[in-house]
Amino acid sequence: MSGPGRPARGAPGLPPQDDPSIVLDPAADPGAAALGAIGAEATVELPWPVMLQRRVHGRARASRRYPWWVLAALLAGLFALNCTFTVFVVALPTVARQLHTHVSVLTWVSTGPLLAFGLAAPLFGRVGDLFGHRRLYLWGLAGATVAAVLTATAPDTLVLVAARCLDGVQGAATGTASMALILRMFPPAERVKAMGWWSMVGAGGPVIGVTAGAPVIQYFGWRALFWGQLGLIALALVVVALMLPPHEPTTETGGTPATTETGGTPATTGADRRIDWLGSWSLSGSVIGVMLALSLGPVTGWLSPAVLVPGVTGLGALAVFVQRERHHPSPLVPIAYFRRRNFVLPMGTRAFGNFAYFGGFFLFPLLMEQVYRYSETQVGLVSVARPLVFSLSAPVAGYMAARVGERASAAAGAAAIVLSMVLFALLGPGGSLLVVVAALVLSGLGMGVASPATSSTQANEVAVGELGVMSAAQQLSAQVGEVAGIQVVITVQETLARRGAGAAGSAHLAGLLDSFHWAFWVGAGVAVAGLVCALFIRDFER
């Protein structure tokens, strides 16, 4: 029933009131309330950017597809941020020559951002939950513009590495905030579909970046790449600012189920919540220590002080974190979550899958170049199959998981990764290109199928006010698996290759191939652990 000054149900300009996916509270959203009374607004003088944001956001919010409009806006930002990563790594030899340094020194432009992300992600996840993911995301995009400018103008190696580390910090802000915003916009039953599109852009952005960015570097130089990225970030910033709701979106059905296998829901909401600084820094310290030890192990030796000190420090910080979370009234991550299979097992599936996927990602070019004598160009063309299949399969997998269940999707994806590693481990001296492509396709398909299911499963297990911390924990576990996979399999391969270095001719080639076989078997074994985790995930009841 409508009265004077109150539009009828479903009136133009107001959001549909029977949409079950979004809770719309005009009292908590001054922008939506103002749009509902557009005539009264004519008498109020507002800055034109505010008027533009209200009009655009109001029209989008009136649509039943509003969550998908927000998803598209956030994915535009994700693409702007990740499209340069792979192509910049490819350009490192050119960068090293221009800055008069060595490629080994410039590897910190890849390692530094990972460490910076691990340091900042736990804190930003909690900050977003407490003070708003929209605000955190916009600040992250602003930080990305600064990082792009500093990278494009870097006069020396120190500034370049610092700029990329700043990029890792903003990645922690935008990564945790954007995933949390997307998950808050969708009801639990639909989150797996949204995560499919998220995975598509996450894997496809670097592929498009290599395709479009390589000619830019060749004809205009590597600095032009980041001036171009600056334009993409600025455009994404405008789109996101116009499209995102002024206040945090929530879903009616969002949050933790009323009853779980541990019983009850951790009480983490309320005005008295505060940041657990010791918990945040101890978790960051544990992640940084482990990643440093893994990164330095192949270089200095696994028993060197450079590895043992950060490794032991990381384990000590982890013990402090666990003890802190058990007794703090407002923990960073409630310990009760770690007793829930749908919180822990998806992280295990993701971490073990990343171990095999990224370990194979680094082994594959070495295998093709050193054993089968492929050129760099040939290897590059063939290797595109993996991320391309990853990005194309992820959206389809999200919709399929909504039909067949998250457990079946996660298990199918993990099994595909295992089979991929086995095919690589069984490659003979001839190195059939058909088998190689099949292994790459299986690897990309496995990650594309498993990622949406694991992301949505873990999200559905936490309270809606803790999605930021959840997304940070998920991304950190994936990064630890990534770093561990790269360093461990490379160490195995190099160690075994050195043992057979004294042989000559065919014996040397056979020993070299055998070293790759063992490294891929290690990846396959760890991938099996991911499959076991996936088999015990519980489906979301739709």
In a domain, residue 318? The reply is yes
**Claim to verify: residue 53 and residue 183 sit in the same structural domain:** yes
CA–centroid distance for 350 within its chain? 11
Please check the confidence at residue 416 and state whether its pLDDT lies above 60.
yes
In angstroms and rounded to an integer, the radius of gyration of the C-alpha atoms of the chain is: 24
* Encoded amino acid at 364, one letter: F
More confident residue, 118 or 444: 444
Domain of 282 in residue numbering reads as: 276-331
**Same-domain pairing of 247 and 144:** yes
Q: What is the mean pLDDT of residues 427-447?
A: 91
Query: Predicted confidence band at 108 (pLDDT cuts at 50, 70, 90)?
Result: confident
Domain end call among 331, 354, 374: 331
User: Do residue 243 and residue 373 come from a single domain?
Assistant: no
CA dist 10 and 8 (Å) reads 6
Here the tokens at position 320 are 């402090």
More confident residue, 299 or 75: 75
**Per the domain annotation, does 413 fall within a domain?**
yes
Q: Which of 252, 285, 308 is the last residue of a domain?
A: 252
Same domain, 346 and 325: no
Whole-number pLDDT of residue 129: 87
Highest mean pLDDT pick, 115-119, 124-128, 201-205, 448-452: 448-452
Which pLDDT does position 466 carry in this prediction?
Answer: 85
How far apart CA 50 and CA 73 sit, in angstroms, is 18
Q: What predicted TM-score, i.e. pTM, was given to this entire model?
A: 0.77
How confident is the model over 89-102, as pLDDT tens digits?
Answer: 767 778 888 888 87
* The pLDDT of residue 387 is above 80: yes
CA proximity to 291, closest of 157, 116, 124 = 116
Distances (CA, A) of 9 to 41, 59, 349: 21, 16, 45
Specify whether 356 is located in the same domain as 434.
yes
Is residue 5 domain-resident? Answer: no
Residues 203 and 100 in one domain: yes
Distance CA(522)–CA(488), nearest Å, equals: 9
CB 129 within 8 A of CB 469: yes
Place of tokens 């590597």: 222
By the 8 A CB rule, do 481 and 359 touch? no
At residue 506 the predicted structure's pLDDT band, cuts being 50, 70 and 90, is low
- Print burial letters for 485-521: b (CB count within 10 Å at least 16), e (below 16): bbbbbbbbbeebbeebeeeeeeeebebbbebbbebbb
Q: 21: pLDDT confidence band, cut at 50, 70 and 90?
A: very low
User: Mean pLDDT throughout 403-423?
Assistant: 96
Least confident residue range of 41-50, 77-86, 384-393, 405-414: 41-50
Residues 82 and 136 in one domain: yes
pLDDT tier for residue 105 given thresholds of 50, 70 and 90:
confident
- pLDDT above 60 for 2: no
Higher pLDDT, 364 or 29: 364
CB proximity list for 190: less than 8 A, separation 6 or greater: 21, 67, 402
DSSP line for 31-95: HHHHHHTHHHHTTS---HHHHHHHHHHHHHHTSTTHHHHHHHHHHHHHHHHHTTHHHHHHTHHHH
**Residue 243, domain CATH:** 1.20.1250.20
**177 pLDDT exceeds 50?**
yes
For position 465, what pLDDT does the model report? 82
Q: Give the rounded percent of residues in the chain with a pLDDT score beyond 70.
A: 82
User: What CA–CA distance (Å, rounded) separates 407 from 450?
Assistant: 9
What's the mean pLDDT in 377-404? 89
Q: Indicate if the pLDDT at residue 326 is higher than 50.
A: yes
Cα→Cα distances 292→106, 319, 360, 440, 462, Å: 16, 18, 21, 29, 30
Confidence bin at 523 (pLDDT 50/70/90): very high
CA-to-CA distance for 277 and 465, rounded, in angstroms? 18
Token output for 395:
């959206």
For residues 452 and 372, what is the distance between their CA atoms, to the nearest angstrom?
A: 35
Average pLDDT over residues 229-245: 86
Q: What is the pLDDT of residue 44?
A: 52
Task: Give the distance, in angstroms, between the CA of residue 307 and the centroid of all CA atoms in the same chain.
Answer: 26
pLDDT at 266 over 60: no
Q: Helices 191-220 & 433-459, crossing angle to 10 degrees?
A: 130
Residues 387 and 299 in one domain: no
Q: How far apart are the C-alpha atoms of 285 and 309, rounded to whole Å?
A: 12
Residues 402 and 509 in one domain: yes
Report the range out of 42-56, 198-212, 430-444 with the highest average pLDDT.
430-444
The DSSP-derived string for 441-483 is HHHHHHHHHHHHHHHHHHHTTS-GGGHHHHHHHHHHHHHHHHH
Query: Distance (Å, rounded) from C-alpha 171 to C-alpha 293?
Result: 22
Asked if the structure places residue 297 within a domain, the reply is yes
The domain boundary, picked from 252, 287, 316, lies at: 252
Q: What is the DSSP letter of 255?
A: S
Residue 163 belongs to some domain of the structure: yes
> Alpha helices of 221-340 — where are they, by DSSP H?
222-243, 277-300, 305-327
Determine if residue 506 is left, alpha or beta; phi over 0 gives left, psi from -120 to 50 gives alpha, anything else beta.
alpha
Match 């770093």 to its residue by tokens. 483
Domains contained in the chain, number: 3
Domain-located, residue 17:
no
Q: What is the mean pLDDT of residues 26-33?
A: 43
Closest CA to 413 of 458, 444, 459: 444
Does 448 lie in the same domain as 513? yes
On the question of pLDDT at 33 being above 60, the answer is: no
For residues 128 and 240, state if they share a domain.
Answer: yes
pLDDT digits (tens, 9 = 90+) for 453-498: 999 999 999 888 888 888 888 888 888 888 888 888 888 888 888 8
Is 6 inside a domain boundary?
A: no
Name the residue with higher pLDDT: 395 or 1.
395
Residues 385 and 402 reside in one and the same domain:
yes
Average pLDDT in the chain: 81
DSSP string, 490-503: HHHHHHHHHHTTT-
As a whole number, mean pLDDT of residues 306-323 equals 91
Whether residue 270 lies inside any domain: the answer is no
How far apart (Å, rounded) are the C-alpha atoms in residues 95 and 83?
18
Look at residue 505 in the predicted model and tell me its pLDDT. 59
